[in-house]
Amino acid sequence: MKLKTKLTLFNAISKLVIVVLFVLLVPLLIKRISRNYVDNNLIKQQKKFLQIVKDQGIKNYIPDGETYGSYYLPLKEEYLTIETDTVPGHNIDTIKNERRLVERDTIDYRILSHTFEIGNHKYLLEIGKSVATLDETSAPLQNIAFVVLIGMILLTILADSFYTNRVLNPLGLIIKTKLIGQKFPNFGPYKEVRTSTSDFQYLDISIHKMIETIEAAFQKEREFISNASHELMTPISILQSKIENMFGQEDVADELKVRLLEMLKILNRLKSITKTLLLISQIENEQFLKEDQISINQLLQEVYDEISVRLAEKNLTFDILVPENVTLVNVNRFLLFNLFFNLVNNAIKYNKEDGEIAITTELESGNLVVNITDTGVGISPEDMPLIFNRFKKVRQSMQQDSFGLGLPIVKSIAAFHDIKIEVDSVKNVGSNFRLIFPLQLVKK
Amino acid sequence: MNVLIIEDEEALAHELEIFLNTNNYVTDVCHNGASASEKIATSLYDFILIDLGLPDYEGLDLLKEAKKNNPDAACIILTARAEINDRIRGLDLGADDYLPKPFSLLELQSRMQAIMRRKFGLKQNIVELGDFLINLTDRTITCQDAVVNTITKKEFDLIAYLILNKNRTLSRTQLSEHIWGSVINDDYDSNYIDAHIKNIRKKLNVYSAPDWLETVRGLGYKVKMNT
């Protein structure tokens, strides 16, 4: 998952949790706050009342001879009663919710009860506020709180995503321009990603430094190969010329010539290895153009022309079952020729007398697949991972005159063209090399 | 034929000289670009062999100078820098051929003769061998008016190369380098040449015995021809 997605997701979830908590807690809180407020109010009223009674006497509230006085607001949302308390030793000082029956209406009140004495008389004071009015005032409060909360949360979500977008943008840019779409080892010139985040600056410059190191290493390798080729090819060239000149001389005895030939043969081996290694490194350094258009059938025909004598030696059947209109584009002819040559050459080398080699094509999910199937000795499963390694002569028991670079050449050429290779093989039955050509190499 | 050899590797230049002299070429040798530049400016040559990797001179500049001062000379680039770009640039600048090091001296001679045929004469290059007439220009073989059409391209290449180096024994290695030189593969086995020769003999025998195609025991093959 991308960092940006993760952050946005976390952002949304955390906000959601806050909303849920708020929705659960707000009614409780508001209830509590308004109850405190009401209680304080009741106590204030009680104090005021007691002050009035102290100043003016109780008579204002309880007419003489009566034991009870009550005062209601017209809608009964508040009331005050006072009565003589006849129960001795009974002192009350509470605030609680109770239900009262007032003129046939049952109403829930928040009631303050308080006993006090004036003279010898003891009185019970009750001040009540209807709970309904309390709720009435808290409900709009709650609603306003919700609306404000939602608004603020939407605002923070917007702000957050805007900011994370902005702040993470350089990271996206670094990934897009420095990592994805860069083809190893050809990186373009360094372009600084503009950011004020020091971590990203550090990341950008570190990636750049690593690329520079890699490029320097590649440059060195390229130079080394170029130098090595010159340094090796020239002495080989001198040796070859010397031997050839000696071989051509009239007065050299035949037995000496045989030995000169052996030298020439060994020199040739050295030359082949050097040339092959050079070719592989040149491919890996992308020093070839991919501009040719070729018909696979025609190319295989050319391979056949080169190799027919080897097929005849083992009396092998060679079938090219490739439609003539299958054409490859954006490839290097020289390299593809060598790819097929080496695969067919292997198919011959590891085949049995009177065996078969078949080359077929098929379409598989839009890709072109070329199969090179032989009836040879096959490859054992434990050797399979090694066959593309340089100088690994897996099938050494065959005593072939080769140096184990055939399949590495094939692998390099295939990788250079983005061709995938799959190998199936059954020991002593045969092998099947599947070349999977990507769409862009196949002419429509 | 005058040949200028521009090669900083003295040992190689020396071998080239020996080889070309025994094949009746007159040679001049330069081991550096400066003296080569002088030679190019003052003398006329039929062939100029240029090593691209000179220590004191850009080889391609020499090629330009040669094209200016020696317009009739055929230029062959010799290089160990087996880079495709060099090749394209060299041929763009008018080099007649390009031979990557290490090359066989016989290959060099065969390229030089090909250029000569191309440049100096359109006359048919026909060789008479026993009852066979071999046309190296049209690449055809006839035997007493019968056209031999069973010979493959590779087989003809072999015959032509042997004829080019007539009376000289060519080893299997030299022959296989000539006909498979451009293929990069991991065989250094040249025994397939024997199979080719066997096939050639079998095919020609249908018309007449190709006695001129000799096996030199232990060494290789040669085409015997009276000169």
**DSSP symbol at B144:** T
B62: containing domain: 2-120
pLDDT at A397 over 60: no
Nearest by CB to residue B84, choosing from A258, A287, A404, is A287
Q: What is the pTM of this model?
A: 0.66
Write out chain A residues lying below 8 Å of B81, CB-based: 226, 229-230
Q: Are residues B90 and B137 in the same domain?
A: no
HEC string of chain A equals CCHHHHHHHHHHHHHHHHHHHHHHHHHHHHHHHHHHHHHHHHHHHHHHHHHHHHHHCHHHCCCCCCCEEEEECCCCCEEEEEEECCCCCCCCEEEEEEEEEECCEEEEEEEEEEEEEECCEEEEEEEEEEHHHHHHHHHHHHHHHHHHHHHHHHHHHHHHHHHHHHHHHHHHHHHHHHHCCCECCECCCCCCCCCCCHHHHHHHHHHHHHHHHHHHHHHHHHHHHHHHHHHHHHHHHHHHHHHHHHHHCCCCCHHHHHHHHHHHHHHHHHHHHHHHHHHHHHHHCCCCCCCEEEEHHHHHHHHHHHHHHHHHHCCCEEEEECCCCCEEEEECHHHHHHHHHHHHHHHHHCECCCCEEEEEEEEECCEEEEEEEECECCCCCCCHHHCCCCCCCCCHHHCCCECCCHHHHHHHHHHHCCCEEEEEEECCCEEEEEEEECHHHECC
Predicted ipTM?
Answer: 0.83
- Tracing tokens 């080359």 back to the chain, one arrives at A359
The average pLDDT across A186-200 equals 79
Q: Are strands A317-321 and A356-364 parallel, antiparallel or unpaired?
A: parallel
Cα distances from A133 to residues A25, A136, A340, A374, A388, in angstroms, run 21, 5, 93, 95, 88
For residue B137, what is the domain's CATH number?
Answer: 1.10.10.10
In the listed set B73, B98, B120, which residue is the last one of a domain according to the structure?
Answer: B120
Residue A287's pLDDT is 78
A244 touches chain B (CB under 8 A): yes
Q: Are residues B102 and B150 in the same domain?
A: no
Q: Are residues B97 and B162 in the same domain?
A: no
Distance from CA of A273 to the nearest CA of B (A): 8
Tell me whether residues B185 and A341 touch, CB distance under 8 A. yes
Q: Are residues B112 and B140 in the same domain?
A: no
Tell me whether residues B177 and A405 touch, CB distance under 8 A. no
pLDDT at A188 over 80: no
Question: How many whole angstroms separate alpha carbon A336 and alpha carbon A289?
Answer: 12
A23-51 burial string, b = 16+ CB within 10 Å, else e? eeebeeebeeebbeebeeebeebbeebee
Q: Are residues B102 and B6 in the same domain?
A: yes
**DSSP symbol at B143:** E
Q: How many domains does chain B contain in total?
A: 2
Nearest by CB to residue A309, choosing from B82, B182, B192, is B192
Q: What is the pLDDT of residues A283-313, one digit of tens each?
A: 877 778 888 899 999 999 999 988 888 888 8
Residue B81's pLDDT is 66
B149 touches chain A (CB under 8 A): no
Distance from CA of B181 to the nearest CA of A (A): 10
Distance from CA of A326 to the nearest CA of B (A): 23
pLDDT at A435 over 90: yes
Q: Which residues lie closer than 8 Å to B132 by C-beta, 6 or more apart?
A: B141, B142, B143, B148, B204, B207, B208, B210
Q: Are residues B217 and B131 in the same domain?
A: yes
Tell me whether residues B186 and A405 touch, CB distance under 8 A. yes
In the listed set B71, B98, B120, which residue is the last one of a domain according to the structure?
Answer: B120
Q: Are residues B61 and B130 in the same domain?
A: no
pLDDT at A396 over 60: no
Interface probe for B, chosen from A239, A244, A262 (most Cβ of B below 10 Å), is A244
Tell me whether residues B53 and A289 touch, CB distance under 8 A. no
Distance from CA of A314 to the nearest CA of B (A): 11
The average pLDDT across A42-65 equals 84
Instruction: Give the A:B interface size as CB pairs under 8 Å.
Output: 150
Q: Where are the domains of chain A?
A: 3-137, 198-284, 292-441
Write out chain A residues lying below 8 Å of B189, CB-based: 400-402
For residue B16, what is the domain's CATH number?
Answer: 3.40.50.2300
C-alpha closest to that of A84 among A52, A51, A47, A58: A58
Distance from CA of B7 to the nearest CA of A (A): 11
Q: Are residues B81 and B172 in the same domain?
A: no
| Chain centroid offset of residue A18 CA | 29
Distance from CA of A264 to the nearest CA of B (A): 7
CA-nearest residue to A223 within chain B is B81
Q: Name the band, by pLDDT with cuts 50, 70 and 90, for residue A407.
A: confident
B185 touches chain A (CB under 8 A): yes
Instruction: Among A93-102, A354-363, B2-11, B12-21, name the one with the lowest average pLDDT.
Output: A93-102
Residue B35's pLDDT is 93
Q: Name the band, by pLDDT with cuts 50, 70 and 90, for residue A73.
A: confident
Q: What is the pLDDT of residues A210-264, one digit of tens each?
A: 888 888 887 787 778 767 766 788 889 899 999 999 988 888 888 898 899 889 8
Tell me whether residues B12 and A234 touch, CB distance under 8 A. yes
Write out chain B residues lying below 8 Å of A247, CB-based: 169, 171
Residue B174's pLDDT is 86
A406 touches chain B (CB under 8 A): yes
Tell me whether residues A238 and B106 touch, CB distance under 8 A. no
Q: Are residues B18 and B89 in the same domain?
A: yes
Tell me whether residues B154 and A241 touch, CB distance under 8 A. no
Q: Name the band, by pLDDT with cuts 50, 70 and 90, for residue A320.
A: very high
pLDDT at A383 over 90: no
CA-nearest residue to B20 within chain A is A245
A353 touches chain B (CB under 8 A): no
Residue A401's pLDDT is 59
- The residue with greater pLDDT, B90 or A139, is A139
Residue B227's pLDDT is 67
Q: What proportion of chain A, given as a percentage, has pLDDT over 70?
A: 94
In the listed set B120, B146, B175, which residue is the last one of a domain according to the structure?
Answer: B120
Nearest by CB to residue B173, choosing from A237, A268, A337, is A268
Nearest by CB to residue A237, choosing from B83, B101, B192, is B101
Check if the beta carbon of residue B115 is closer than 8 Å to that of residue B96.
Answer: yes
Q: Which of residues 24-83 of B touch A (CB under 8 A)?
A: 53, 80-83
pLDDT in tens, chain B (227 residues): 899 999 988 999 999 999 999 888 999 999 999 999 999 999 999 999 998 878 888 888 888 899 899 888 999 988 876 555 666 666 777 788 888 888 889 889 888 988 888 876 656 678 888 889 998 888 889 998 889 888 888 899 899 999 888 888 888 888 888 888 767 766 656 678 888 899 999 999 999 988 999 998 888 999 988 76
Distance from CA of A216 to the nearest CA of B (A): 20
Residue B197's pLDDT is 92
Tell me how far apart the 2 most distant CA atoms of chain B are, in Å. 58
Tell me whether residues B184 and A338 touch, CB distance under 8 A. yes
Q: Are residues B19 and B104 in the same domain?
A: yes
Write out chain B residues lying below 8 Å of A269, CB-based: 188
Nearest by CB to residue A258, choosing from B11, B173, B219, is B219
Q: Are residues B114 and B197 in the same domain?
A: no
Q: Are residues B197 and B151 in the same domain?
A: yes
Tell me whether residues A403 and B188 touch, CB distance under 8 A. yes
Q: Which of residues 265-324 of A touch B (CB under 8 A)?
A: 265, 268-269, 271-272, 275-276, 278-279, 282, 287-289, 305-306, 308-310, 312-313
Question: How many whole angstroms separate alpha carbon B138 and alpha carbon B149?
Answer: 13
> In CATH, which of 3.30.565.10, 3.40.50.300, 3.30.420.40, 3.40.50.1390 is domain A292-441?
3.30.565.10
